[in-house]
Chains A and B, each alone.
Chain A
Amino acid sequence: MTQYLKSREAILLGAILALLAMIATRFPAFVSPGNLLNVFNDTAPLIILALGQTVVILTRCIDLSVAANLALTGMVVAMLNAAAPGVPIAVILVLAVSLGAILGAINGVLVWKLSIPPIVVTLGTMTVFRGLIFVISGGEWVNAHEMSAAFTGFPRSVVLGLPMLSWIALGIAALFLLLVFRTPLGRAFYAVGGNPHAAVYTGIVVGRTQFWAFVLSGALAGLTGYLWVARYAVAYVDIAAGFELEVVAACVIGGISIAGGAGTLVGTILGALFLGIVKNALPVVDISPFWQLAISGSAIIVAVTFNVRQNRRRGRIILKRAEGHA
Chain B
Amino acid sequence: MTDTSARHIPDRLHSAAARLLKSWEVLLLAVAVAIFVANSFASPYFLNAWNLSDATFNFTEKAMIAFAMALLIISGEIDLSVASIIALASTAMGAAAQLGLGAPALVLIGLATGLACGAFNGALVTGLGLPSIVVTIGTMSLFRGISYIVLGDQAYRGYPPEFAFFGQGYVAWVISFEFVLFAVLALVYGVVLHRTNFGRAIFAIGNNPTGALFSGIQVRRVKFILFLLTGAMSGIAAICLTSRLGSTRPSIAFGWELEVVTMVVLGGVSILGGSGSIPGVVIAAFVMGLVTFGLGLLNVPGIVMSIFIGLLLIGVIALPRLWAMRTR
Report chain B residues within 8 Å CB of A110.
314, 318
Interfacial residues, chain A to chain B (CB-CB below 8 A): 62, 110, 114-117, 119-121, 123-128, 130-132, 134-135, 139, 237, 245, 248-249, 252, 258-259, 288, 290-301, 304-305, 308, 319, 321-322, 325-326
| Contact A293 B148, CB 8 Å, known A128-B311, A139-B301, A304-B138 | yes
| Contact A124 B311, CB 8 Å, known A293-B141, A308-B129 | yes
Query: Could you give, for residues 10-37 of chain B, a 1 whenever the CB lies within 8 Å of some chain A CB and a 0 otherwise?
Result: 0000000000000000000000000000
Main secondary structure of the interface of A (DSSP, over half): helix
Question: CB distance A127 to B142 under 8 Å?
Answer: no
Contact of B145 among A130, A237, A294, A304 (CB under 8 A): A294
**Once bound together, how far apart are the Cα atoms of A300 and B133, in whole Å?**
11
Question: CB distance A322 to B209 under 8 Å?
Answer: yes
A and B contact pairs by CB, cutoff 8 A, 10 listed = A116-B318, A117-B272, A120-B271, A128-B314, A297-B140, A297-B142, A300-B134, A301-B142, A304-B131, A325-B76
**B149 interface contact, C-beta 8 A:** yes
Report chain B residues within 8 Å CB of A301.
124, 135, 138-139, 142
A133's nearest neighbour on chain B, judged by CB, is B303
B301's nearest neighbour on chain A, judged by CB, is A134
Contact of A325 among B139, B209, B321 (CB under 8 A): B209
Report chain B residues within 8 Å CB of A124.
262, 310-311, 313-314
B152's nearest neighbour on chain A, judged by CB, is A290
Interface centre among B76, B131, B250 (most CB of A within 10 A): B131
B294 to chain A, nearest CB (A): 17
**Once bound together, how far apart are the Cα atoms of A132 and B311, in whole Å?**
12
Question: CB distance A259 to B131 under 8 Å?
Answer: yes
Number of B residues, CB within 8 Å of A: 50
A325's nearest neighbour on chain B, judged by CB, is B76
Query: Could you give, for residues 169-184 of chain B, a 1 whenever the CB lies within 8 Å of some chain A CB and a 0 otherwise?
Result: 0000000000000000
Report chain B residues within 8 Å CB of A117.
271-272
**B306 interface contact, C-beta 8 A:** yes
Report chain B residues within 8 Å CB of A294.
141-142, 145-146, 148-149
**Once bound together, how far apart are the Cα atoms of A305 and B306, in whole Å?**
34
**Once bound together, how far apart are the Cα atoms of A110 and B250, in whole Å?**
35
A302's nearest neighbour on chain B, judged by CB, is B138
Question: CB distance A128 to B321 under 8 Å?
Answer: no
**Once bound together, how far apart are the Cα atoms of A123 and B316, in whole Å?**
14
B327 to chain A, nearest CB (A): 15
A159 to chain B, nearest CB (A): 35
Question: CB distance B130 to A131 under 8 Å?
Answer: no
Report chain A residues within 8 Å CB of B76.
325
Contact of A120 among B135, B139, B265, B304 (CB under 8 A): B265
**Once bound together, how far apart are the Cα atoms of A278 and B133, in whole Å?**
24
Report chain A residues within 8 Å CB of B250.
290
Report chain A residues within 8 Å CB of B149.
288, 290-291, 294
Contact of B208 among A114, A139, A252, A322 (CB under 8 A): A322
**Once bound together, how far apart are the Cα atoms of A120 and B258, in whole Å?**
10
Contact of B303 among A126, A131, A292, A322 (CB under 8 A): A131
